[in-house]
Amino acid sequence: MRILMVEDEKYIAEAIAQVLRKNNYSVDLVYDGNDGLDFGLTGIYDIIILDIMLPKMNGIEVLKGLRKNGIEAPVILLTARGETEDKVNGLDSGADDYLPKPFHTDELLARLRALGRRKSELINDGILKYGDIAFNPQTLLIFCGNKESKLTLKESQLLELLIKRNGMITSKELIIKKLWGYDTEAEDNHVEIHVSLLRKKVNHLESQVAINAIRGAGYVLKIKEGD
């Protein structure tokens, strides 16, 4: 399960992320509201943990921006203990749960498990589809008709990102952040290599899906036009 945590107190965020990773969650950390909204809008997260008190844009504004743009991932708001108004505003704005600070990580883990169960009841079998291809993130297998191909982890993360962006252009900068994280030495050529490898596997399946490069902007999935 992939989690986005938006928390400006970095030492708290890092400590929580360490616990979550030990419990087999994949976690991305951002530290202000602007980045929280940008990352959340990628649509690749299963659950978002969102602090209300954030620089640049507060958590309620981030939450409203996510819901306005059709992001339905469950959101847990981190609120100041006793701030009833924050809880009410958060729930009215589309939050699924709230957790007063400070909290024990066991309680956060329990709430994540509960939201994960609720989400699993609402989604399909986990297969991602675009055009004539189907992708299973659990097995890293991509299918087209009766053909299949095995992806590497990075290729699968790239394909998942492009599919969930649903026709939106995805920049190399965003791909680097999502596949390698903030503290990385990965550069544009790393993205180009993985796009090329993924493109070859999609083409090998004789799919009508194309990974188009938009000069100066990034990449986007498109359906090839008929001959």
- Domain tally, the chain: 2
Contact in structure between 126 and 138 (CB atoms under 8 Å): yes
Local confidence band at 25 (pLDDT 50, 70, 90 cut-offs)? confident
Would you state the pLDDT for residue 192?
93
Whether the CA torsion 10, 12, 15, 21 is positive or negative: it is: negative
Residues 8, 118: one domain?
Answer: yes
The reply to whether 102 and 168 lie within a common domain is no
Say if CB 157 and CB 174 are below 8 A apart.
no
pLDDT confidence of 21, banded at 50, 70, 90? Answer: confident
Q: Are residues 19 and 64 in the same domain?
A: yes
pLDDT at 122 over 70: no
* Share above pLDDT 90 across residues of the chain, in percent, rounded to a whole number: 40
Q: Tens digit of pLDDT for each residue in 84-107?
A: 777 787 788 888 888 888 888 898
DSSP state of 170: B
Domain termination residue (choose one: 122, 153, 187): 122
Cα(171)–Cα(216) distance, integer angstroms: 9
Q: Write out the two tokens for 23.
A: 């419990």
First-to-last C-alpha distance (Å) of the chain: 40
* CATH number, domain with residue 182: 1.10.10.10
Q: Does the pLDDT value for residue 123 go beyond 50? A: no
Please check whether residues 14 and 118 belong to one and the same domain. Answer: yes
Q: How confident is the model at residue 177 (pLDDT cuts 50, 70, 90)?
A: confident
What is the tens place of the pLDDT at every residue in 196-227? 999 999 999 999 999 999 988 999 999 887 64
pLDDT higher than threshold 90 for residue 5: yes
Give the total residue count for the chain: 227
Write down which residue in 77, 103, 122 finishes a domain.
122
Three-class DSSP category at 117: helix
191 and 137 in a single domain? The answer is: yes
